[in-house]
Amino acid sequence: MRDTITADLRTATLARDKERTATLRLVAAAIKDRDILARGAGTERATEGELVDLLARMIKQREESARLYDEGGRPELAAKERAEIAVIRTYLPQQLDEAAVAAAIDKAVADSGAAGLKDMGKVMALLKERHAGQLDFSKASGLVRAKLA
């Protein structure tokens, strides 16, 4: 993922695509910060899973900002945030559709042996392990809760 982002940043810079270049610079800086934290924890670099989580957090931050800009009457800033989301999203794994999400939840419930809401943590841990970056876990938690209730 690092190599792809670096190569795409170089390409965007040469193409003078200012918006894409700015977004990719933000992503590269966030990855570098995450790698520095990983070195402090005793590993050389952040794992791919950690980078996927980082990009997902960046998207959530921008979605929240876009929502606030829309509420504040600043559609041009909201559009800028959404453009950044589109660039960042290209580096995440393909999102699962509703049927695949339901199947993944059913499988995680069966594999964990969950019997009620008290086992929700086990199910969510399995989902995060198996489908990092492919699920919106805030939505999935509601579906898991409904399934276990």
Domains located in the chain, CATH noted = 2-89 (1.10.1510.10), 98-148 (1.10.10.410)
Distance between CA atoms of residues 105 and 88, nearest Å: 26
Question: What is the structure's pLDDT at 28?
Answer: 94
Question: What is the structure's pLDDT at 43?
Answer: 81
Instruction: Fill in the DSSP letter of residue 133.
Output: T
pTM comes to: 0.72
Question: What is the structure's pLDDT at 4?
Answer: 93
Three-state helix/strand/coil letters over 29-59: HHHHHHHHHHHHCCCCCCCHHHHHHHHHHHH
Stretch 108-112: mean pLDDT, rounded? Answer: 86
Stretch 64-86: mean pLDDT, rounded? Answer: 96
Stretch 87-101: mean pLDDT, rounded? Answer: 86
Distance between CA atoms of residues 85 and 57, nearest Å: 11
Distance between CA atoms of residues 67 and 109, nearest Å: 33
pLDDT tops 80 at residue 31: yes
Stretch 42-60: mean pLDDT, rounded? Answer: 86
Share of the chain above pLDDT 70, in %: 100
Question: Hunting for tokens 């996927």 — which residue is that?
Answer: 52
Stretch 111-126: mean pLDDT, rounded? Answer: 84
Question: What is the structure's pLDDT at 140?
Answer: 84
Question: What is the structure's pLDDT at 115?
Answer: 80
